[in-house]
A and B are shown apart, each in its own frame.
Chain A
Amino acid sequence: GAVVSQHPSWVICKSGTSVKIECRSLDFQATTMFWYRQFPKQSLMLMATSNEGSKATYEQGVEKDKFLINHASLTLSTLTVTSAHPEDSSFYICSARDVGQWATDTQYFGPGTRLTVL
């Protein structure tokens, strides 16, 4: 149980284009999902908290117009990197908090999406 999927697992795009990454909780409902960015050999950096049916909450320094987040259902959140540039190349990981385990703050992580912007 507690499986989170991400699609695509890797994507290569040209500079200036937009890329959408999907995060799905497969066997549980998640009112809250999180988007992280991870640079090589570093820890995870929280970008934003995605709440079902409401606007995402972005961490300081994260451009909300650059990284659009939509949490349309209890099992799906999407991250769209708009007008991507090479500096946006990174490993993006989502996590989902099981609504049934909200009291323990347990997050389950997706496998990540490797974005390369040429």
Chain B
Amino acid sequence: AQSVTQLGSHVSVSEGALVLLRCNYSSSVPPYLFWYVQYPNQGLQLLLKYTTGATLVKGINGFEAEFKKSETSFHLTKPSAHMSDAAEYFCAVTNSGGYNKLIFGAGTRLAVHP
């Protein structure tokens, strides 16, 4: 069975500081990995995804994530936090091959301080 663990339910950074949100997954088959962001009272917006190919994936709003198979990780980073990055972030995994359900992590709330 697949699972996702997001380390740290709350992360707080200063504006301009590095953002690092951690995600580890468990999967017996090659995974597809996703990061979504959710602003208050809104749906989820896809930030980036890894399916195959290059393990460093760039997404929207300056975010990127690196798939590390040996560490079963897919951590999300951004070099310089902006106040508008404050939101809830969800990591999700599914099996490769299509027509599979997304398995979400518990989420990490990112706070950005001036």
Contacts and interface: CB of A to CB of B under 8 A. Distances in A.
A103 B97 CA distance: 6
Interface string A2-15: 00101000000000
Contacts of A93: 43-44
Interface string A82-114: 000000000101010000001111111111101
A109 B98 contact: no
Contacts of A105: 32, 94-95, 98-100, 102
A56 interface: no
B90 interface: yes
Interface string B72-114: 0000000000000000001000110111111011110000000
Contacts of B51: 103-104
B107 A114 contact: no
B45 interface: yes
A72 to B, nearest CB: 20
A91 B39 CA distance: 13
Contacts of A6: 43
A112 B104 contact: no
Interface in A29-66: 32, 34, 42-44, 46, 49
Interface string B35-47: 0100001111110
Given A93-B43, A106-B46, 13 more contacts: A6-B43, A43-B105, A44-B90, A93-B44, A95-B44, A95-B102, A103-B51, A104-B32, A104-B49, A105-B95, A105-B100, A107-B102, A108-B46
Interface of B: 32, 34, 36, 41-46, 49, 51, 90, 94-95, 97-102, 104-107
Interface of A: 4, 6, 32, 34, 42-44, 46, 49, 91, 93, 95, 102-112, 114
